[in-house]
Structure 1
Amino acid sequence: MNRYAGALRRYLPALGLLALLSCQDGGKATVAPAPPVVTPPAGSTFTNPLMASGPDPWVYQKDGYYYYMHTTNTNLRIWKTARMSELGSTSSVVAWTPPGSGNAAGNLWAPELYFLDGKWYIYYSAGPAGTDLGQQRTWVLENDAADPTTGTWVDKGRLFSSPEDHWAIDGTVLEQNGKRYFIWSGHNGLDGVQRLYISQMSNPWTLTGPRVELSHPEFSWEANGFGVNEGPEILKHGGKIFLVYSASFCGTDQYALGLLTASATADPLLPASWTKSTTPVFGQNPAGRAYATGHNSFFKSKDGQEDWILYHANSNPNEGCVEKRNPRMQKFTWNADGTPNFGTPVAINAALPRPGGE
């Protein structure tokens, strides 16, 4: 068994317990059934959640369309829509089904889709089929079609920073100062703490140079369940770059978003370029039935005037890190100091204005 699997096994029983509590009528906690996805009235509003299930939601915009993905565990699917507010009524296309065996046959997590150098790429986490999650690594697919829901996806293999080859998930891409970087959550080979790492890319499927640690759990809000920094995502605004990440074990209701900030001209490989916020920037809202809020992405409204956050949450307490997590979105603003203000998770089933241009 992979030597990091022992650390991960610490939370597998907790995951099973939380899932059990959400399913058993006789558990200590009485959990309300998951709310139905309410169809918004015709007109200018929509409601959250966008779908009944959708962990680790990701969206990419190109040529007037939104391309959406989320964790399915068994394959990689792409939803294509002209309106994010209508995501729930959009059908998906299977982009990739893994081989029946091998090092990337199961547990497909957190896919992210990009258009780079004239081709489409999907970065995703996977390992052997089964329950040994300690073998999760990051993998890359390539497609030269104009539309990623068409064409053929080619396996470009595993993405890792040689000679380091440790547990690695939740990869995302940063472009800055004319260079391209990959940021992910991984282990240091010594403990089970999830840290954020960065490495420069020589092409969309190859890392070059050292693996540099940017962040690790330092505060109590990053250590609910156990210490976790994961799900890094990039946001740029007003001469600054923000690395928004998810903190604490995803199976806890306290899963939340943290923030690293750097200048848009700084060298992102230097840890000193980044300043870490001491408090979370987005967290649960029990009154609005939003628990375990995290693993987000960002998009602009079609009219280009609004900034939106897309994230997953559970609709009831103690629902764990499983498929009950559902995708939600809401508009956010900016503070006077230029940092993002994500506000509070909006209550489910509340009528919200659609993104501008929809």
Structure 2
Amino acid sequence: MALKNDEVQIRDPFIVPVESEGRYYMFGSTDKNIWGKGSGFDYYVSSDLQLWDGPFPAFRPDESFFADNNFWAPEVYAYGGRWYMFATFRRRDNHLLGTAVLAADALTGPFCLVSEGPVTPRDWSSLDGTLFIDDENRPWMVFCHEWQQIGDGEVCAMRLSDDLKEPAGEPVTLFSASQAPWTTPIQSPKFPRPDNYVTDGPFLHRMPNGELIMLWASFIDGAYAQGVARSATGLVTGPWVQEPEALFRSDGGHGMIFRTFEGKLMLTIHTPNKTPLERPIFLELRADEGKLSVAGK
């Protein structure tokens, strides 16, 4: 039986529209307790973004897989004749988070690891890698250097090899979370520093006017929120200019942008930011004179 949006527990929703089928495929963090042992990733399928068939398995690790905890934020892209999944895992050998690359011949999987573990730096706690292809057709991964390791979380970019299996350059820091006017520190008994700022879920999108923007998430007074930054040069390396206000601040974030088959520009995020209550929502976006806003707000 099909599930409504409020019946689908998922974090970090990522939509792949397949126009030839008239269907949307939704991937995300789908373990019931995504803070614990990881079992893999599932996907759901819909024709209207309201009723979903699934879950169906997209990835299941074998015993040799480099991680067994915290399977997070899969993003799936068509590239070079195959489908590639960028996803975050907590590695066994040093217990740090890292983004690895998986691939499959079909959108529905099964996905298998193609990188040698995470492609993010081994001694960094890194998460939420997203793929960006620049104007010279070069692949980049944009990802977060986690606040739990460095205090003021960062968004970084790194060139990848053409086969996406390994780095092709050193990471470059694009900005820190505290640089955005709308973010506030997050208080955590486990991490008691007063200047902890979160970066989560970067996603790049080329606007209709040609501007390059980035969605990313942080917190406002303890509530999860979705922000926007703009590249002043149109390049992934920036510099990046932060919007003064959050795009969405009602305890939701880790968003991505896609177009419906009718041409509407849509934002999907999960809300609330609390397990097991997180659900996907879909918000129509307006792009007026280059400024992004949620329709009707």
**Fold match by TM threshold 0.5:** yes
Deviations 1:159-202 (A, max 9, x none): 4256x641111111112212221111114996243211101122
Report the CA distance shift for 1:190/1:296 in structure 2 as closer, same or farther (over 3 A). closer
Q: Does 1:70 align with 2:20?
A: no
RMSD (CA atoms): 2.8
Aligned counterpart, 1:56:
12
Aligned counterpart, 1:227:
197
Which of the two has higher C-alpha Rg? 1
Aligned counterpart, 1:81:
46
- Kindly state the Cα deviation for residue 321 of structure 1 after the two structures are TM-superposed: 3.6
**Contact 2:82/2:104, CA 8 A, preserved across alignment:** yes
3-state SS, counterpart of residue 297 of structure 1: strand
**Contact 1:71/1:108, CA 8 A, preserved across alignment:** yes
Q: Does 1:216 align with 2:176?
A: yes
**Contact 2:14/2:74, CA 8 A, preserved across alignment:** yes
Q: Does 1:342 align with 2:270?
A: no
Aligned counterpart, 2:241:
275
- Kindly state the Cα deviation for residue 50 of structure 1 after the two structures are TM-superposed: 4.4
Partners of 1:154 and 1:275 lie apart in 2 by 37
- Kindly state the Cα deviation for residue 333 of structure 1 after the two structures are TM-superposed: 0.8
1:107-256 equivalence runs, <5 A: 107-128=70-91, 135-145=96-106, 148-150=107-109, 152-157=110-115, 158-161=117-120, 165-177=123-135, 178-187=137-146, 191-203=150-162, 204-218=164-178, 219=181, 221-225=183-187, 226-237=196-207, 238-248=209-219, 253-256=222-225
Partners of 2:182 and 2:293 lie apart in 1 by 22
Q: Which amino acid aligns with 2:280?
A: P
**Contact 1:142/1:156, CA 8 A, preserved across alignment:** yes
Structure that is richer in helix per residue:
1
Report the CA distance shift for 1:222/1:119 in structure 2 as closer, same or farther (over 3 A). farther
**Contact 1:224/1:254, CA 8 A, preserved across alignment:** no
**Contact 2:17/2:260, CA 8 A, preserved across alignment:** no
Q: Does 1:258 align with 2:227?
A: yes
Structure that is richer in strand per residue:
2
**Contact 2:269/2:282, CA 8 A, preserved across alignment:** yes
**Contact 1:193/1:227, CA 8 A, preserved across alignment:** yes
Q: Tell me the TM-score normalised to structure 2 length.
A: 0.81
Partners of 1:55 and 1:78 lie apart in 2 by 12
3-state SS, counterpart of residue 84 of structure 1: coil
Structure 2, unpaired ranges of 5+ = 188-195
Partners of 2:292 and 2:185 lie apart in 1 by 23
**Contact 1:105/1:128, CA 8 A, preserved across alignment:** yes
- Kindly state the Cα deviation for residue 334 of structure 1 after the two structures are TM-superposed: 1.6
Aligned counterpart, 1:289:
none
Deviations 1:295-341 (A, max 9, x none): 1112211122x111111112xxxxx54221111112111233x1211
- Kindly state the Cα deviation for residue 128 of structure 1 after the two structures are TM-superposed: 4.4
- Kindly state the Cα deviation for residue 120 of structure 1 after the two structures are TM-superposed: 0.5
> Could you tell me the percent identity over the aligned residues?
19
**Contact 2:125/2:145, CA 8 A, preserved across alignment:** yes
Aligned counterpart, 1:25:
none
Aligned counterpart, 2:192:
none
Deviations 1:254-290 (A, max 9, x none): 2111211125x63322x42x21223212111xxxxxx
**Contact 2:146/2:199, CA 8 A, preserved across alignment:** no
Q: Which amino acid aligns with 2:186?
A: N
